[in-house]
């Protein structure tokens, strides 16, 4: 005799998924073509068919805390081969967007970044903070002199102390928000994995999880899953360019931080300084990668592109373009313009950090954790 289950559909959840780009959800008639077509779906409890079932029934708890929605890289194979045009890839992308908003707090910040009408507010916030704190502390000087070498120096306009005074607490805020969200996320995906029979491990062991993370990192760095995708395999190159650009810029920032506070050496640094070369290469790669992401997104007219997608591309391009123009105008001796561009560049950096746990960029963290859990649980992945 079969078991009986009481289902309590969350209709508002269904509407929210449809509003976030999953409006094709109800076309699904459960043929399982998507799970067969997916080149990276695990052999045990494959996705995305079961996710489409849960989404159709509005089973929010089964989806938001489901690690499999993050294993999907939205390669597009399932959507292309779907005989009903249900576009499972777009549906899972919508669910991921919803999951980010559920795990990040405070939710008011998430709503702010999800509303395209609030873009002016997103940039007004750092602008006001920079001006108020800078003027109160005297660390923002609108008429800076040249440095001792007769060069334009951005730290004489927007002090390095002001940058760190604002961005170090900001980085701590990001870590704290992610930490709270990930604690819930890991607990939820483990609970769901146990219920669905994806794992037989009763408790998560820290050592084993860290070892799994170490094994997963090379897959992320090489974009192994992207290379297995058929429809969107071309996304691998721009994604890798953007990823390695951010890694390179993080290394540069860390080194210059040590040089500044450890040795008291202010910029600007020589153009042929190895660290400066890495910075310029990373900046150029960020711009090119952003343009390629834009082209790829515009070319895929059959896929849903949400405001969050365009916001992310705009943020990447804004960071890259303002950063490189700030450098070029400084070298050209255009003081007023380079100071203005530097100020704008910092507002983009502020947006990158402050809204990171609430934007699509958060998928870098959640997907990494989900892939690590999948590796830790010992599930096999087909075609690897």
CATH number at 30 reads 1.10.1060.10
Is the domain of 57 the same as that of 171? Answer: no
The packing angle between helices 335-354 and 307-331, to 10°, is 150
Mean predicted confidence (pLDDT) in 20-39: 89
pLDDT band of 383, cuts 50, 70, 90: very low
Is the domain of 92 the same as that of 124? Answer: no
Question: Taking the CA atoms of the chain, what radius of gyration do you get in angstroms?
Answer: 23
pLDDT score at 223: 77
CB atoms within 10 A of CB 371: 23
Is the domain of 97 the same as that of 111? Answer: no
pLDDT per position as a tens digit, 317-364? 999 999 999 999 999 999 999 999 999 999 999 999 998 999 888 998
Q: Kindly state whether residue 2 falls inside one of the protein's structural domains.
A: no
pLDDT score at 290: 94
Is the domain of 26 the same as that of 150? Answer: no
Q: Is 26's pLDDT higher than 80? A: yes
Q: Which of 103, 124, 157 is the last residue of a domain?
A: 103
Alpha-carbon gap, residue 77 to 89, rounded angstroms: 8
pLDDT score at 10: 84
Q: Which of 46, 71, 103 is the last residue of a domain?
A: 103
Give the total number of structural domains in the chain: 2
Q: Is 114's pLDDT higher than 90? A: no
> At CA 119, angle to CA 181 and CA 91, rounded to 5?
55
What's the whole-number average pLDDT of the chain? 88
Return the closest-CA partner of residue 327 out of 235, 262, 249.
249
Domain that residue 29 falls in:
11-103
Is the domain of 189 the same as that of 326? Answer: yes
Is the domain of 155 the same as that of 284? Answer: yes
Q: Per the confidence metrics, is the pTM higher than 0.85?
A: yes
Alpha-carbon gap, residue 174 to 31, rounded angstroms: 42
Is the domain of 187 the same as that of 164? Answer: yes
pLDDT band of 284, cuts 50, 70, 90: very high
The owner of tokens 């998924």 is 17
Q: Is 238's pLDDT higher than 80? A: yes
pLDDT score at 230: 65
pLDDT score at 379: 73
Is the domain of 98 the same as that of 116? Answer: no
Is the domain of 68 the same as that of 155? Answer: no
Mean predicted confidence (pLDDT) in 304-325: 91
Return the closest-CA partner of residue 129 out of 346, 311, 339.
346
Mean predicted confidence (pLDDT) in 11-28: 90
CB atoms within 10 A of CB 169: 10
Is the domain of 155 the same as that of 243? Answer: yes
H-helix or E-strand spanning residue 162: helix 160-196
């Amino acid at each position: 005799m079969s078991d009986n289950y009481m289902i309590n559909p969350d209709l508002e959840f269904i509407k929210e998924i449809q509003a976030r780009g999953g409006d094709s959800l109800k076309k699904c008639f459960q043929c399982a073509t998507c799970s067969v077509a997916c080149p990276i779906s695990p052999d045990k409890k494959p996705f995305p068919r079961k996710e489409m079932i849960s989404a159709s029934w509005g089973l929010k708890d089964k989806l938001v805390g489901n690690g499999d929605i993050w294993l999907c890289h939205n390669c597009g194979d399932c959507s292309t081969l779907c005989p009903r045009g249900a576009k499972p890839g777009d549906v899972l992308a919508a669910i991921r967007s919803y999951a980010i908003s559920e795990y990040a707090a405070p939710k008011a910040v998430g709503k702010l970044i999800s509303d395209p009408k609030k873009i002016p507010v997103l940039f007004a916030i750092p602008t006001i903070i920079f001006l108020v704190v800078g003027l109160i502390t005297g660390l923002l000087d609108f008429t800076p002199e040249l440095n001792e070498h007769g060069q334009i120096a951005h730290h004489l306009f927007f002090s390095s102390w002001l940058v760190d005074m604002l961005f170090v607490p900001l980085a701590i805020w990001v870590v704290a928000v992610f930490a709270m969200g990930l604690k819930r996320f890991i607990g939820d995906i483990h609970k769901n994995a146990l219920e669905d029979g994806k794992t037989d491990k009763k408790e998560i062991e820290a050592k084993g999880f860290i070892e799994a993370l170490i094994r997963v990192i090379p897959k992320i760095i090489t974009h192994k899953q992207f290379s297995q995708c058929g429809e969107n395999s071309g996304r691998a190159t721009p994604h890798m360019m953007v990823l390695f650009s951010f890694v390179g810029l993080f290394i540069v920032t860390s080194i210059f931080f040590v040089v500044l506070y450890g040795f008291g050496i202010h910029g600007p640094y020589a153009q042929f300084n190895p660290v400066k070369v890495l910075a310029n290469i990373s900046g150029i790669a960020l711009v090119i990668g952003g343009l390629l992401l834009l082209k790829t997104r515009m070319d895929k007219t059959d896929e849903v592109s949400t405001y969050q997608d365009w916001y992310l591309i705009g943020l990447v391009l804004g960071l890259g373009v303002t950063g490189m123009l700030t450098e070029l105008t400084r070298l050209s001796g255009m003081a007023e313009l380079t100071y203005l561009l530097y100020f704008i560049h910092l507002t983009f950096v502020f947006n990158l950090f402050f809204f990171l746990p609430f934007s699509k960029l958060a998928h870098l963290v959640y997907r990494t954790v989900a892939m690590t859990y999948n590796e830790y649980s010992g599930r096999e992945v087909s075609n690897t």
